[in-house]
Each structure stands twice: as structure tokens, then as C-alpha cells.
Amino acid sequence: MSYEKVLQASNVIVGTKQTIRALKSGHVLEVVVASDADPRITDSIIQLANDMDVPVTMVDSMKKLGKACGIDVRATTVAIIQ
């Protein structure tokens, strides 16, 4: 289901650094995080999203998340922006 949200979203940001930057700027509607990613990377993003009252959705595969974004590499996090 969440992969479909990413596919249908008109504006997405892929990657951890860009997701953090977008969260701090306040333009994120939802964050999608791959559960098979390294928790040392994802925990800080999840915490930041929770602190900013941005919903976080977990998906099972980095590879599938990257494919849903239209890229040929794995994606750890995706931010759906306004």
C-alpha cells in the first residue's frame, strides 16, 4: 500500500540527507522508511519525524522502495512533500 502512495505522489525526496533537510524545512507530508535499512540511520529520521508530527510509514524493502521512486538503487527513506 505505501509503495502505491510513493508511486502516486507528485513530489518525493529520496535519501536520508535530503529527507532530514526537508523535515527541518517543514514541507514533508509523510515519511516512508524501509524496515530492512540500518536502524542507526533510520532511527534519527523516525525520531525527527515524530518530533515534527509527520506520519511515518514503514515498508519492508529498500529495493522495492527505490523501484517505487523510479530509481535503480535501493532507497532507505522517502519524503512525500507538498
Every domain of the chain and the residues it spans? 2-81
Specify the fold of 2-81. 60s Ribosomal Protein L30; Chain: A; (3.30.1330)
Residue 60 C-alpha cell reads as: 519492508
Region 27-37 average pLDDT:
95
CA distance 77 to 8: 16
Mean pLDDT of the chain: 93
Q: Which of 5-9, 12-16, 51-55, 66-70 has the lowest mean pLDDT?
A: 5-9
How long, in residues, is the chain?
A: 82
CA distance 14 to 19: 7
> What percent of the chain lies above the pLDDT cut of 90?
83
